[in-house]
Amino acid sequence: MRNIRVYHVDAFTDQPFTGNTAGVVLDAEQLTGEEMQQIAKELNLSESIFLLPSDQTGIDYKVRYFTPTDEIPFCGHATIGLTWLLATELGLSQQQDGVVLGTGAGAIPVVWHQEEGRVQRVEMTQITPQIKALPVDLQAISEMVGVPVDAIDPAYPIQLSHTGNWHLLIPVHSQQAIDQATPDLIALSKHNKEYQIATTHLFTFTPDAEDDYDLYTRDFAPAIGIAEDPVTGAANGALTGYLYLNHMIPQDQITQLKIAQGRAIGRPGFLYVQAIPNGEHPIIKVAGTAKITIRGTLDI
């Protein structure tokens, strides 16, 4: 019998039962890829991350990411969940400042920000962002995401962006319109599979006036087995790259953004994102906190 350590970690929050829950599976060198997929299905979370030893110079650990139905190259909230656990539960922050993870998208450096010996935030550097156009039928997009055509903001392009996975980014006039979105998940899944898109990400620069964040977002991923992903590190990193490459944020100074997500489904969380100018290859950093909620052992 194999005993596999398994955790639930709520990422992009410091409160249990909020943010985005990741399955974090240690001891994955004992597992086959098929078993990892079965465990991800059993955990039934949006994504689960599996920790493996590394045989590559400059890579501390290899990781694999699975939704309940698919393996994917990269997942932001699961990366935050794993590295928070390594830093705190396993005490790695007392020995080093961070780790480099080998993912299907490339090397992802992660650092721990500490105060008085306590980890305050985990920050990952995502791979260099890319953007590309997509054939857009505004009426069809409106029907797929369940947002009226006049709620889609023409000031920003509907585009694909990538910092590990391709995300379809849709600008919306208001937070209320995002919260009221009722996507056609079957049509959206078919569309995203056709164009090899991981998620469809709605965003607005006009959150409710009393709130203290810069952007509000919502994310749907039926093509990879997730109806709605509560708080998405990968998609919001891709969003920040899109904003930079489209000259919507400065290209001559560091931009820091606070992004809110998850309120529409009762899992609110926050991400802290930086775009660091570097010509056409900006450096995108995504940070957040996490909370371990379940510790257990899977017996196989």
Could you report the per-residue pLDDT of 130-145, keeping only the tens digit for each? 999 999 999 999 999 9
Q: Is the pLDDT of residue 258 over 90?
A: yes
Q: Are residues 141 and 226 in the same domain?
A: yes
* 210 part of the active site: no
Q: Are residues 156 and 11 in the same domain?
A: no
- Looking at the chain, the whole-number percentage of residues with pLDDT higher than 70 is 99
Q: Phi then psi for 178, rounded to 5 degrees?
A: -65, -45
| Arithmetic mean of pLDDT, 3-26 | 98
Q: Is the pLDDT of residue 209 over 90?
A: no
Q: Are residues 112 and 214 in the same domain?
A: no
Q: Could you tell me the pTM of the whole model?
A: 0.97
Q: Are residues 134 and 275 in the same domain?
A: yes
| Arithmetic mean of pLDDT, 41-61 | 97
Residue 118: how many CB atoms within 10 A of its CB? 10
Q: Are residues 139 and 277 in the same domain?
A: yes
Q: Are residues 87 and 160 in the same domain?
A: no
- Mean of the per-residue pLDDT values for the chain? 96
| Arithmetic mean of pLDDT, 39-57 | 97
What is the extent of the structural domain holding 182?
A: 130-283
Q: Are residues 138 and 259 in the same domain?
A: yes
pLDDT value at position 208?
A: 60
Q: Are residues 149 and 258 in the same domain?
A: yes
pLDDT value at position 43?
A: 97
Q: Are residues 98 and 169 in the same domain?
A: no
pLDDT band at residue 201 under the 50/70/90 scheme: very high
Q: Are residues 169 and 259 in the same domain?
A: yes
**How far is residue 282's CA from residue 47's CA, in Å, rounded to a whole number?**
27
DSSP string, 110-178: EEEEEETTEEEEEEEEPPPPEEE-----HHHHHHHHT--GGGB-TTS--EEEESSSEEEEEEBS-HHHH
Residues 231-248 pLDDT 10s:
999 999 999 999 999 999
Q: Are residues 47 and 136 in the same domain?
A: no
H or E element, residue 87: helix 76-88
Q: The CATH number of the domain where 89 resides is what?
A: 3.10.310.10
Q: Are residues 147 and 118 in the same domain?
A: no
**How far is residue 117's CA from residue 74's CA, in Å, rounded to a whole number?**
29
From the candidates 29, 34, 42, 47, which is the catalytic residue?
47
- The total number of structural domains in the chain stands at 2
**C-alpha closest to that of 172 among 113, 216, 237:** 216
Coil vs helix vs strand at 28: helix
pLDDT value at position 1?
A: 79
Q: Is the pLDDT of residue 207 over 70?
A: no
